[in-house]
Amino acid sequence: MSPSEAVYRGRLAPSPTGFLHLGHARTFWIAQERCRTQGGTLILRNDDLDEARCRPEFSTAMVEDLHWFGLQWEEGPDCGGPVGPYVQSQRLEYYRAALVKLIAGGWVYPCTCSRKDILAASRAPHAVDDEEPVYPGTCRGRCLEMMHGQKFSWRYRVPDGQRVEFVDQNLGQQQFVAGRDFGDFVVWRHDKVPAYQLACTVDDAAMGVTEVVRGADLLMSTARQRLLYNSLALVPPAFYHCQLMVDETGQRLAKRNDALSLRTLRQQGWQPEALQSPF
Ligand code: GLU
Ligand code: ZN
């Protein structure tokens, strides 16, 4: 079966780190529309790996707010499905297996740098829409045997100077240069939690997602993840990046701006239909 004949599978992958806002709703609405027009299956995945920031009450609120907004999925934590569990904290074995592959393939190395070290040694200022500074390469030559007793993360070695290109289904041709636009990135955190890039890649592949719809702030993460697909011998899905919503001052909406949270809008008496119509 060629990719164009494959049955469309889309996903909504919120992290329960706060209440969802109108920006999330818009991205998810577009994801749902794209899935519907292709007669596909929509998945809800709970990206709850970051224990320090995720809270169970936000997971509950998430499902409630998404339903209120008019989003419906066929597979998810609340309704099950063939490729579950749909909660990342219950999928650690999949991420571990992927990490083992990356270590065996020599794609990653142990790194003891703190965020502060990296910022101090950083050779390039980081891009505005991607908060990650380019890693200066300090630990590139290290191996596991040198780590005795130290805390370390696993970092992916990007192919310096190599172009990562893909055609975005919304924004067209994209091109990033590894080592310049983004550097070596963490796949496994020093506190033994799989990092977003790895967990997301592993799950999108394992869940048979054929198109990832996400915000344009994640374009460079998509470039990183494409490298992971390659290293793990997985076929990448198509990508559709949505323009981000901004508030009246031109600032990107974030979970910290409570004003446009779906909860608040609902309490103010907004009807979902009125909010959906401009999307
Ligand atoms: N859980 C991630 C987030 O909310 C998913 C992003 C994505 O890969 O679409 O930022
Ligand atoms: Zn390091």
pLDDT tens, position by position, 71-120:
999 999 999 999 999 999 999 999 999 999 999 999 999 999 988 888 88
Q: Higher model confidence: residue 126 or residue 261?
A: 261
What confidence score (pLDDT) does residue 10 get? 98
Alpha carbon distance 43, 45 (integer Å): 6
Spell out the residues 6+ positions from residue 154 whose beta carbon is closer than 8 angstroms to its own. Answer: 99, 102, 103, 108, 109, 110, 111, 186, 187, 188
| pLDDT level of residue 257 (50, 70, 90 thresholds) | low
Domain boundaries, the chain: 1-90+246-279, 91-206
Q: What is the mean pLDDT of residues 139-147?
A: 93
> According to the 3-state scheme, what is the secondary structure of the chain?
CCCCCCCCEEEECCCCCCCCEHHHHHHHHHHHHHHHHCCCEEEECECCCCCCCCCHHHHHHHHHHHHHHCCCCCEECCCECCCCCCEHHHCHHHHHHHHHHHHHCCCEEEECCCHHHHHHHCCCCCCCCCCCCCCCCCCCCCCHHHHCCCCCEEEECCCCCCEEEEEECCCEEEEEEECCCECCEEEECCCCCECHHHHHHHHHHHCCCCEEEEEHHHHHHHHHHHHHHHHCCCCCCEEEEECCCECCCCCECCCCCHHHEHHHHHHCCCCHHHHHCCC
What confidence score (pLDDT) does residue 279 get? 82
Ligand 1 pocket, mutate which of 202, 207, 218 (most atoms under 8 A from CB): 218
Span from the CA of 243 to the centroid of ligand 1 (angstroms): 15
Nearest CA, atom 9, ligand 1: 214
Ligand 1 neighbours, Cβ below 6 Å, are 13-15, 47, 200, 214, 218
Span from the CA of 13 to the centroid of ligand 1 (angstroms): 5
CATH of 1-90+246-279, picked from 3.40.50.300, 2.60.120.200, 3.40.50.620, 3.30.1490.20, is 3.40.50.620
Q: Point out the least confidently predicted range of 23-27, 129-133, 155-159, 264-268.
A: 129-133
Q: Is the pTM of this model over 0.85?
A: yes
Span from the CA of 148 to the centroid of ligand 2 (angstroms): 15
Atom of ligand 1 nearest to the CA of 215: 9
Span from the CA of 162 to the centroid of ligand 2 (angstroms): 21
Atom of ligand 1 nearest to the CA of 47: 1
| pLDDT level of residue 4 (50, 70, 90 thresholds) | low
Atom of ligand 1 nearest to the CA of 11: 9
Alpha carbon distance 233, 227 (integer Å): 10
What percent of the chain has pLDDT above 90? Answer: 82
Span from the CA of 199 to the centroid of ligand 2 (angstroms): 21
Residue 172 clears pLDDT 80, i.e. is over it: yes
Ligand 1 pocket, mutate which of 21, 28, 46, 47 (most atoms under 8 A from CB): 47
Spell out the residues 6+ positions from residue 46 whose beta carbon is closer than 8 angstroms to its own. Answer: 14, 16, 59, 62, 76, 77, 86, 87, 88
Fold of 91-206: Rossmann fold (3.40.50)
Nearest CA, atom 5, ligand 1: 13
What confidence score (pLDDT) does residue 278 get? 81
Span from the CA of 133 to the centroid of ligand 2 (angstroms): 13
Q: Do 1-90+246-279 and 91-206 have matching folds?
A: yes
